[in-house]
Chain A
Amino acid sequence: MTTDALGSVRRTARGLTVASLAVLAAMAALAVAGPWLGEALGIDTTATNLLNRSQPPSLAHPFGTDALGRDYFVRVLEGGRVSLVVGLGGAVATGILGTLIGLVAGYAGGRVDALLMRLTDVVIALPILPLLLIVAAIDLSKLGLATGGGGDGGVLRLVVIVALFGWPSIARVARAQTLSVRRRTYVLAAEALGAGAGRVVRRHVLPNVAGPVLVAATLNIGNVILAESVLSFLGLGIQPPTPSWGNLLSDAQTTLAQAPHLAVIPGLAIFFTVIAFNVLGDGLQALLDRRR
């Protein structure tokens, strides 16, 4: 490829990355400001109004009202907050678990590495959604765990589930990075000076692993948001009355013909958020590749 064409690719890529950052910033701001915005507009988020059900978008209700007459604009913003928290929380949890496994595999090498990488291959090949459904359906009280769950509608539970199956992509990246610095002179020097494995990994390996893992984790956020939405849509994710983009769509399915806006809006929100995270991750990847 000519340098000219390459420059053109880079310029568009940079433009897209900036645009995706702007979309995400707007989404995050709206999600954080949601309840406050509802108050400012004089909208009670919990007030049902059976005379005002499934109304199309209007001046008083920019996104219309849902099947119980609640303002949909604020519902979608609140749902966005839950979906974004699950997305970010799930990606962070996945990142931590994956990094740990990748570091151990890459640094220890030998049998530990072989075993962990076989496990990684298997988990990657699994049909994830059916398994997520089963894990999401299990009754924690049968394990002797508290089922209280607080009032979050199952956010923590989803984060844990997502991390349990999402770590392999991160682990692969972390392991590859670890292997690439494992025999560098400064790592060997640190070991020769008597530094323990923990210290070497923390001080000399982890900083090299961080960048690529960050990129992989960013690309993962979109997947986590998609996983949340589909699980909630199927009734096994975030439980109502806590709204999430996924369970809003689940409710909208029943009134698809009468109130299509209820199905269109949360889906668009998911789509733009996920595509923005993917484009952002791709842009970060390009940035990282160029620095090498």
Chain B
Amino acid sequence: MLAHLLRRGGEAVVAWLLVSLLVFTLVGLMPGDPLDLQLAADPDLTAEDVERLKALYGLDRPLLARYGTWLADAVQGDWGFSRLYARPVAAVMAEPMLNTLLLMGLSLVVGLAIAVPLAVAAARRPGGPLDVGVNLLAFAGFSLPSFWLALLMILLFAVNLGWLPAGGVHAVGDPGLASRLAHLVLPVATLSVLTTGTYLRFARGALLEVVGEDFMRTARAKGLGPLQALVRHALPNALLPLVTIVALQLGTLLSGALAVEVVFAYRGMGKLTYDAILANDYNLAMAALLAATALTLAANILADLVYVQLDPRVRYDD
């Protein structure tokens, strides 16, 4: 088990390093560079000044050397300075990180809370009207463009009905809990449609796999009602693959969160990444992307661990 964990951890670190090199290269290929903006801001800068600034920032050095410097600083906790916010990257990222984790966590919980009971209800009569409806609902959920759903939510609940705020994390000058919660409702509702659809699909599939098993007939034979048999015997077996799916879908959830955050102007990691990319904020874009990558890689290892805890049949003895 420990050996397995170490191996998975090692792989994740290697993967993260590869992604960081890739992202470092890509970020450098975005149009414009930090000097362009200084140049545009100050017409008195001469060609010699540009060369001097390039040397000062190390932009004249080869890519790999710059990456090495960045990595050495990064592992020591120095993620550089955000040009967009004129503050250290780590300080800029702290609050959006919490905002995003809150948004994703709530959507994940809401998604599971709706999907699992619905899947159980549908599995009582496979092929029945409820099952067909649930299946369509699942397809609808993950076929909706999340940013479009976000627009519709704003249109209906903010513009037409005026019940909820259209965007932001809290009202200007009112960072209280009530204001924050009101601003969370629409983003969470939007993202939850996506998570519900995805989880519903897999939960329904997993339940349909096990309802035909022998132990289900045994459960019924010993006198359990259909619902009891489903909840006590089918559900635990069906939840196992769901753990993996939830972890694997975290990257997708993060992507969905990005679009939703941008539409709702919700200051989370997704919006931060988007703004950083558009504003050529190299350091911030790098850090935000790599934090997201680290999160998904870690979630996959965590899913492995949870899986072992839940299923005594699974052993990693290598």
Where the two chains meet, the residues of A that have a C-beta atom closer than 8 Å to any C-beta of B are 1, 5-9, 11-12, 16, 118, 121-122, 124-131, 133-135, 137-139, 142-143, 222, 226, 229-230, 233-235, 249, 252-253, 256-257, 260, 263-264, 266-267, 270-271, 274-275, 278-279, 282
Contacts and interface: CB of A to CB of B under 8 A. Distances in A.
25 contacts: A7-B127, A125-B300, A126-B251, A126-B293, A126-B296, A128-B255, A129-B255, A129-B259, A129-B270, A130-B274, A134-B23, A134-B27, A134-B277, A134-B289, A137-B277, A139-B32, A226-B143, A230-B259, A233-B147, A256-B151, A267-B149, A270-B145, A274-B143, A278-B143, A282-B139
Question: What class of interface size applies to chain B in its complex with A?
Answer: 35 or more
Contacts of A222: 143
A234 B274 contact: yes
Given A122-B18, A263-B152, A137 B31 contact: yes
Contacts of B126: 1, 5-6, 8-9
Contacts of A249: 145, 147-148, 151
Nearest to A8: B127
Nearest to A129: B255
B128 A128 contact: no
B127 A127 contact: no
Contacts of A263: 148, 151-152, 155
B159 A230 contact: no
Interface string B248-274: 100110111011001100000010011
Q: Which of A121, A131, A229 has the most C-beta atoms of chain B within 10 angstroms of its own C-beta? A: A131
A271 B143 contact: yes
A128 B253 CA distance: 10
A257 B152 CA distance: 11
Interface in B1-33: 11, 15, 18-19, 23, 26-32
Nearest to A279: B139
A121 B136 CA distance: 29
Q: Of residues B31, B127, B136, which shows the largest number of chain A Cβ atoms within 10 Å of its Cβ?
A: B127
A256 B125 CA distance: 42
A122 B292 contact: no
Interface string B132-147: 1000100110111111
B151 A253 contact: yes
Given A1-B212, A6-B126, A122-B15, A267 B145 contact: yes
Nearest to A133: B277
Given A125-B248, A126-B19, A234 B262 contact: yes
Nearest to B8: A121
B29 A271 contact: no
Interface of B: 11, 15, 18-19, 23, 26-32, 125-128, 131-132, 136, 139-140, 142-149, 151-152, 154-155, 159, 208, 211-212, 248, 251-252, 254-256, 258-259, 262-263, 270, 273-274, 277-278, 285, 288-289, 292-293, 295-297, 299-300
B153 to A, nearest CB: 11
Question: Is chain B's interface secondary structure helix, strand, loop, or mixed overall?
Answer: helix
B30 A127 contact: no
Nearest to B140: A275
Contacts of A143: 29
Most buried by A among B125, B139, B143: B143
Contact of A130 (B143, B155, B288): B288
Contacts of B277: 133-134, 137
B86 to A, nearest CB: 22
A5 B274 CA distance: 48
B293 A127 contact: yes
A5 B155 contact: no
Contacts of B151: 249, 252-253, 256, 263, 267
Contacts of A252: 151
B288 A271 contact: no
B259 A234 contact: yes
Contacts of A282: 139
A130 B29 contact: no
